[in-house]
Structure 1
Amino acid sequence: MKPTTEVLQSIIEKANNELNRDYVGLSMSSFSAGLDIGFGPLLMGVFLTLSASGFGELTTEILLATAYSVGFILVILGRSELFTEHTTLAVMPVIDGQASVKQLLKLWGIVYLGNIVGGLAFTGLAVLLMPGLGVVAPEAFETIGLKLVTNPLHWLLIAGIFAGWLMGLLAWLVTAAQETISRIFIIWIITATIGILHLPHSIAGNVEVLFGLFTSTEIGFMDYLLFLIMATIGNILGGTIFVGLLKYGHVTRGAE
């Protein structure tokens, strides 16, 4: 593992590159991330279809959490732009005085929009093709989506903060790790934790709820919209406050 001061410097350098990146390339990378992360919820639907017990059984929960992590492994190791990573990474140059809040908001907006549109495209394609392959039932998608949208709004916000917090830690730990195997394990353990706790991640959850919206009459557009708003706010707060501000503060104060 790298020293904490080196990790912070690497994060700031990487974030500055993203803040100054060409908008077209950033948009394409964000769209790609939205597509790739959809494989996690899709595998969850397949595993839930094949499982007789559904949610609740320990083995099924571990399998679903592992499936959930697949999309994150594809996105993060593939170096695509994921919004919840940037809630931590991109805020650090702003705190350090090397970038402006305007630059941060532009980056967040482009990455977030690209992730959401990519997830929408993946979901539409999967809903069209998967039934013909016979590997996943629409009822599985409904079950996954309902697990998120049936919670009260205050729960979505608080749980979203925890999800953003964990994603911020993931961004920090992946930067600190020096080997691919270590990074895969870190991604798996963090995102599987989010999955097994059923915490609302705005980008992966976007696909989960869209699957339910497209295949079920139990989930409406307002359910989807409210989920997305509360999960996004929670993710921003969790990543920015509990990792971005605190990690920056304790590393710089320690260096002094």
Structure 2
Amino acid sequence: MSDPRPEVSDTTEQKTSQDILGSLIDGALHEMNRERSGLLLSGFSAGLDIGFGPLMMAVILTLSQSGFGDLTTELLLASVYSIGFMFVILGRSELFTEHTTLAVIPVLDKQASIQQLARLWGLVYVGNIVGGFLFTQLVVLLMPGLGVVSPEAFETIALKLVNHELQWILVGGVFAGWLMGLLAWLVTAAQETTSRLLLILIVTGTIGILHLPHSIAGNVEVLFGLLMSPEISLLDYLAFLVLATIGNAFGGGIFVALLKYGHVVRGGN
């Protein structure tokens, strides 16, 4: 007896590794060929948007009776940390540690040059940093009127990142870059917005709960501390930014771009 139900196409079929790689290469080449002003504006927008994560972390710390070390508070902080990444990734803005890290792949595939990669990274990175700086300035101006966030909360968040040996910031940055590069791969593989939201929450929430140094979100976190606490110096900020950036680029470029590309072109599927 034949099945009376109409045939339905399988829209949830998983993408192959070749499909994911091809999508990433196409996307990276598109970004590399954009005008300079477009890349700067996209990076600037991402730098602004990602600041909502650190801001909400400060609000949670201000309103919570517990602090770092309490499981419930830590889970809440990791969840709201993801908000800025959701705004950026689903909004298709350019984030140095997510989209552009995997721009290494077309260079490995010999479809783009090192100069094109450096141009893309440089423009997006500058846009991200400037956007984050403007966001912190706006929040500092608005903070007294908000009434739900204290300077001490921003200090606590910043100290969590800078109160480490320099080698920890570098190695922690490698892990953060690794996770962000992996997120770019997974988001490209995902078929639905709901799946992408869940992936962003899981991966960036992991970065948040481990307090790993993310150069762009961390730029906002440490800048808040620099502006509001005598405990954070300009040298602390610059050391964090440089080491986190190097670690993020290395982690995403080596542990994701190079390894993923290597296994796909060698027949992985």
TM-score, normalization by structure 2:
0.94
Deviates more, 1:82-91 or 1:207-216: 82-91
Cα deviation for residue 222 of structure 1 reads 0.5
- 2:194 is the alignment partner of 1:184: no
Identical aligned residues as a percent: 70
Verify: 1:107 aligned to 2:127, yes or no. no
Determine the C-alpha separation between the residues in 1 that align with 2:144 and 2:107.
Answer: 46
* Superposed CA offset, 1:110-152 (max 9, x none): 0000000000000000011022110100000000000001111
**Which residue, 226, 232, 245 being the options, matches 2:258?**
245
Residues 148-178 of structure 1: CA deviation (Å, up to 9, x unaligned): 0111100000000000000000000000001
Task: Determine which structure has the larger helix proportion and give its number.
Answer: 1
Partner SS, residue 93 of structure 2: coil
The secondary structure found in structure 1 opposite 2:246 is helix
Q: Say if 2:94 and 2:100, in contact at 8 Å, map to a contact too.
A: no
Q: Secondary structure at the match of 2:232?
A: coil
Distance 1:180 1:130 in 2: 33
| Structure 1: 4+ residue segments shifted above 3 A | none
CA distance, structure 1, for counterparts of residue 216 and residue 122 of structure 2? 13
Amino acid of the residue matched to residue 255 of structure 2?
Answer: F
Q: Take 1:255 and 1:191, find their aligned partners in 2: how far apart are those partners? A: 27
User: Following TM superposition, by how much is the alpha carbon of 1:53 offset from its aligned partner in structure 2, in angstroms?
Assistant: 1.2
The answer for unaligned runs of 5 or more in structure 1 is: none
CA contact (8 A) 1:37 1:72 kept: yes
Which position in structure 1 is the counterpart of 2:11?
none
The residue type paired with residue 193 of structure 1 is T
Bigger Rg, which one? 2
- Aligned match for 1:12, one of 2, 25, 35: 25
**Aligned equivalent of 1:96, options 109, 115, 121:** 109
Query: Deviations 1:167-226 (Å, cap 9, x if unpaired)?
Result: 000000000001000000000000000000000000000000001011100001000000
> Quick one: distance in 1 between partners of 2:205 and 2:214?
12
**Residue 255 of structure 1: how far off its partner (Å):** 5.5
**Which residue of 128, 151, 156 corresponds with 1:138?**
151
The reply on whether 1:203 has 2:216 as its aligned counterpart is: yes
- Give the paired residue count: 256
Checking the alignment, whether the CA contact within 8 Å between 2:100 and 2:120 is kept in structure 1 is no
Displacement of 1:2 after TM fit?
A: 1.1
Q: 1:145, 1:152 → 2: CA distance?
A: 14
Name the residue aligned to 2:37.
24
SS of the counterpart of 1:90? helix
TM-score (normalised: structure 1): 0.99
Q: Supply the distance in 2 between the matched residues of 1:49 and 1:81 (Cα, whole angstroms).
A: 31
Q: 1:87·1:239 contact (CA, 8 Å) conserved in 2?
A: no
Please give the secondary structure, in 2, of the residue aligned with 1:202: coil
Q: Secondary structure at the match of 2:138?
A: helix
Letter in structure 2 aligned against 1:135: V
2:260 alignment partner, SS class = helix
Amino acid at match of 1:244: A
- The code of the aligned residue for 1:230 comes to L
Amino acid at match of 2:133: L
